[in-house]
Chain A
Amino acid sequence: MRKRRRSKGVAPVKPRGFAWGVMPTTRLRIAVLGCLCVLLASTWAAAQGVRRRHAAHPSLVALAYQLNVRKILEEDPASAPKQGQGASSSSGGLSLKSLGFSPSAIQGNPKEQALLNKRSHMLQIHQKLGLLTTIPMVASLFTSFGAKGHHGLPGPASGRNLHMALGLVTTGMYWTTAYYAIRAPKVPGTKSYGLIRLHEALAWVHGTGMILTPILGAIAYSQLNNNERVHGIAKYHSWAAYTTAGAYGLALLSVTLKKF
């Protein structure tokens, strides 16, 4: 029976699904290239962190300053410079205390400053990486037209592979960018207000989109590789991508443009 069945088979059966085991070398190269780009972006971000850590920390400078002031005061009170922060700033008998400010309000807090420094540093990386992410994102949108043939039929594999590689780079850079916003320390007792709330709300839209788009893209890619039309849930890959890009663009504009 088995022999008969084998003899009947004319064309070899094409493997279904993503078939990583038989991935052609070109695709493998593109995937490796994509991963390398993501790795480079992460390394750059990490390098920024190291450079920052090695620079003179402002809170340390302030601490050194305060210690120095204390030392000068102990040695010669008359020669101490006038620094009003929590100390005895006075102008003709006037002082911060005489204005009714509580000692806690005028006292500096180096720990809080360190927290602010870390937060700002991480958000600056977030800002720069976010801006750089728009490059592969826009390129992915442009190459999407060459990713499939006309009327939903599979087009040339090169266009599809290029689109996939750019998609991989975009996804990697996007999540690296997101990491710096999510992990930036929150300042206790502060509430969000203004357009940053729109920026944060839009993150839920493009964040969800950046989970769905690569998954749907992988399914569509697999279907096209099997000489199938894009069908099922994969049909929504482009819609997910456009919505994601739209929300991402709006989030970017909400923190950059004057009129926003």
Chain B
Amino acid sequence: MNKTILIAVLLFAGPRLLRAESQWVLVESTLTYHISHPLHSAAGVSHAARGKGICHAGECNFLVAVPVKTFNSGNSNRDLHMLQVVRGAEFPMVEVSFRLPESELTAPTIHANLHIQFAGQSAEYKQVAFERLQKGTETEVKGTIPMKISDFKITPPELLFMPIKNSVPVRVDTFWKPVGK
């Protein structure tokens, strides 16, 4: 009798246990890009990123995406020009995907190989360091992506015949929550 129950339990629960996965959801975020020009420096901020992570068999896949037009630099003209330069109407989303071992999710520093799709181009940023902090039920992950506009074949915008710097670091501050274990 006991054997029959055990077999039944294993038959029903076994596949579920093997398939056990955890998910992470991005609950809050602040993404800030910084541009530098000999006469100007500006920062564009977006809080509209959405993200998800699915962990399975000790490995986690994450995808974070943000609409390009949600970045606000405090000047509508600059934002519209940025949208034109990065071809934001044709390619409206910035997508960041990365894969991590599940064990690394608890480490104080996370090193991720980021695959970024932006302006119709893809680029890889290897071993980007992020700081991880536990804040109650949420996990804060923050760091800076050393983005370069040349990686995405973007013509640097000019002001008074002078182009902006190629380096456009993006500061990332995100809050993640585990769901549906």
**A116 contacts B83, C-beta separation under 8 Å:** yes
Query: Which residues of A lie under 8 Å from residue B83 when comparing CB positions?
Result: 116
Contacts across chains A and B counted by CB atoms under 8 Å: 139
In the complex, which of the residues B78, B85, B117, B161 contacts A82, with contact meaning CB atoms closer than 8 Å?
B117
Binary CB contact string for chain B from 20 to 50 against chain A (1 if under 8 A, 0 otherwise)? 0000000000000000000111000000001
Give bound CA distance, A101 to B67, whole Å: 9
Interface residues in A83-136 (C-beta closer than 8 Å to B): 83-86, 89-96, 98-101, 105-110, 112-113, 115-117, 119-120, 123-124, 127-128, 131
In angstroms, Cα B51 to Cα A62, docked, is 26
Given contacts A99-B50, A117-B84, contact A131 B160 (CB under 8 A): yes
* A127-B162 Cα distance, complex, nearest whole Å: 12
Q: Is A25 an interface residue when CB atoms closer than 8 A count as contact?
A: no
**Contact between A94 and B89, CB atoms less than 8 A apart:** no
Contact A116 B54 (CB under 8 A): no
- Whole-angstrom distance between the alpha carbons of A85 and B19 in the complex? 30
A120 to B86, CA, bound (A): 12
Do B51 and A196 touch (CB < 8 A)? no
Q: How far is the CA of A105 from the CA of B122 in the complex (A)?
A: 20
Q: Which of A185-193, A222-230, A235-243 contacts B (4 or more CB under 8 A)?
A: A185-193
B13 touches A (CB below 8 Å): no
Q: Is A85's CB under 8 angstroms from B91's CB?
A: yes
Q: Are A187 and B62 in contact (CB under 8 A)?
A: no
Within the assembled complex, what's the spacing in Å between the Cα atoms of A112 and B97? 27
Q: B40 and A256: CB pair below 8 A?
A: yes
In the bound complex, residues from chain B placing their C-beta under 8 Å from that of A84 are 65, 93, 95, 117
Q: Could you tell me if A256 and B160 are in contact, using CB atoms closer than 8 angstroms?
A: yes
From A99, A105, A107, A119, B84 is in contact (CB under 8 Å) with A119
Given contacts A91-B61, A92-B99, A99-B65, contact A120 B84 (CB under 8 A): yes
Q: Which of A143-186 contact B (CB under 8 A)?
A: none
Instruction: Indicate whether A59 reaches chain B with its CB closer than 8 angstroms.
Output: yes
Least Cβ–Cβ distance between B39 and chain A, in angstroms: 5
Q: In the complex, A206 Cα to B52 Cα: how many Å?
A: 52
The interface residues of chain A lying within 8 Å CB-to-CB of B74 are 193-194
B92 touches A110 (CB 8 A): no
Q: Is A49 an interface residue (CB 8 A)?
A: no
B76 touches which one: A90, A113, A191 (CB < 8 A)? A191
In the complex, the answer to whether B89 meets A99 with C-beta atoms within 8 Å is no
Residue numbers of A with Cβ under 8 A of B are 58-59, 62, 65, 82-86, 89-96, 98-101, 105-110, 112-113, 115-117, 119-120, 123-124, 127-128, 131, 187, 190-196, 199, 255-258
Name 8 extra pairs, CB < 8 A, besides A94-B61, A108-B90, A116-B80. A86-B92, A91-B115, A96-B65, A109-B92, A124-B158, A187-B80, A194-B78, A196-B75
